């Protein structure tokens, strides 16, 4: 007696083209919002004149402050999505623990960006309330908030470069400079090189990382 059995279903996987389009789309969104954040943000040192800070944040309406804060959180989410997508692509070409470091680096970067958004929102409120001591304290906090950025740049760039070289998932012309950029991240102002290049680097990675394995 012949026994009929239902065909075994295998989990569907998205096509490589779809995976790349998704990763590139997230990278482009990251680029746009990152550029908007850099263009609209107020970069004040801890010893900035309170009058300058008041003029900057006093000219921002409550609605604009809220929209900016919400857009910042969208940027944080895009960072997390891109980090997870890049880790997945790096691991498709071969199991490597450095791909996990990349994801953790993007997680640290997302936390850093979120802290910047919180500090800006708090500064707006402190200026609105006329609390000069709070404004000064937040300026000091914002002035040292770049420190976690260094750690995330090391993890993202060095992790991606090493993973790309070991698995062949990234071209050498991109993997090697990534390691160099990550290596100079702790060197004071040079750490901002990686931060400035990050959204452009993310688009380049999304366009070149192997997604066909």
The domain tally of the chain equals 1
Confirm whether 9 is domain-assigned: no
- What is the rounded average pLDDT for all residues in the chain? 84
Whether the pLDDT of residue 30 is over 60: the answer is yes
Half-sphere exposure of 2 (CA within 13 A, CB side): 1
Confirm whether 55 is domain-assigned: yes
Higher per-residue confidence, 62 vs 193: 193
CB neighbour class for 75 (10 Å; exposed up to 12, middle 13-18, buried from 19):
buried
Q: Hey, CA dihedral for 19, 20, 21, 24, is it positive or negative?
A: positive
Confirm whether 108 is domain-assigned: yes
Whether the pLDDT of residue 14 is over 70: the answer is no
Confirm whether 5 is domain-assigned: no
Whether the pLDDT of residue 9 is over 50: the answer is no
Confirm whether 185 is domain-assigned: yes
**What residues make up the domain containing 88?**
18-37+45-208
Confirm whether 99 is domain-assigned: yes
Interval 57-67: pLDDT, tens: 777 777 887 88
What pLDDT, on the 0 to 100 scale, is given for residue 180?
A: 95
Confirm whether 186 is domain-assigned: yes
């Amino acid at each position: 007696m012949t026994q009929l059995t239902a065909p075994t279903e295998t989990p569907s996987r998205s096509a490589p083209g779809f995976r790349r389009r998704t990763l590139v789309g997230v990278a482009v969104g990251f680029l746009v919002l990152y550029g908007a954040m850099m263009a609209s943000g107020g970069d004040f040192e801890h010893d900035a004149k309170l009058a300058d800070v008041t003029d900057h944040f006093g000219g921002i309406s409550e609605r604009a402050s809220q929209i900016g804060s919400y857009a910042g959180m969208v940027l944080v989410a895009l960072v997390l999505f891109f980090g997870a997508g890049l880790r997945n692509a790096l691991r498709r070409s071969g199991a490597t623990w450095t791909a996990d470091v990349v994801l953790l680096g993007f997680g640290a970067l997302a936390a850093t960006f979120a802290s910047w958004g919180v500090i800006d929102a708090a500064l707006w409120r402190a200026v609105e309330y006329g609390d000069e001591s709070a404004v000064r304290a937040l300026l000091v906090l914002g002035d040292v908030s770049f420190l976690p950025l260094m750690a995330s740049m090391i993890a993202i760039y060095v992790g991606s470069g090493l993973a790309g070289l070991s698995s062949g998932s990234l071209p050498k012309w991109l993997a090697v400079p990534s390691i160099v950029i990550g290596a100079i991240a702790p060197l004071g102002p040079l750490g901002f090189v990686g931060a400035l290049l990050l959204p452009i680097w993310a688009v380049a990675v999304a366009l070149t990382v192997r997604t066909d394995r």
